[in-house]
């Protein structure tokens, strides 16, 4: 999504402001991953 948003902003700079909403899913994913990593870290000895 962010890749499309950024290419879109480079190709259609006049729509850059609207395209910025495409960052929302990435923001949610980043915050969720951050909290999950800080709280649970990783617990998977089977991969070693």
Partner 1 sequence: MSLHDKARLIGERAGRTQRLCARVAGFLFLWLILTGLAGSLTTSHIVGSGTFAETARRVAASEHLYRLALCSELIETLSVVLLAFALYITLKPVDKLLAQTAMYWRLGESFIGGVGMIFGFVRLRLYTSPQSIAALGADQSQALVGLTRQAGVAEYNISAIFFSIGSILFFYLFFKSRYIPGSWRHSVSLPRSW
Binding site for partner 1 (CB under 8 A): 1-3, 5-7, 9-10, 13, 16, 26-27, 29-31, 33-39, 41-48
User: Shortest approach of partner 1 to residue 33 CB, angstroms?
Assistant: 6
6 Cα distance to chain centroid: 12
The one-character DSSP state at 44 is: -
User: Shortest approach of partner 1 to residue 39 CB, angstroms?
Assistant: 8
Residue 32 Cα distances to 5, 27, 29, 41, angstroms: 21, 9, 5, 13
User: Shortest approach of partner 1 to residue 21 CB, angstroms?
Assistant: 14
């Amino acid at each position: 999504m962010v890749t499309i948003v950024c290419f879109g902003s480079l190709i259609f700079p006049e729509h850059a402001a609207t395209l910025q909403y495409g960052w929302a899913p990435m923001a949610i994913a980043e915050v969720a991953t951050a909290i999950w990593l800080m709280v649970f870290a990783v617990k998977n000895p089977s991969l070693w």
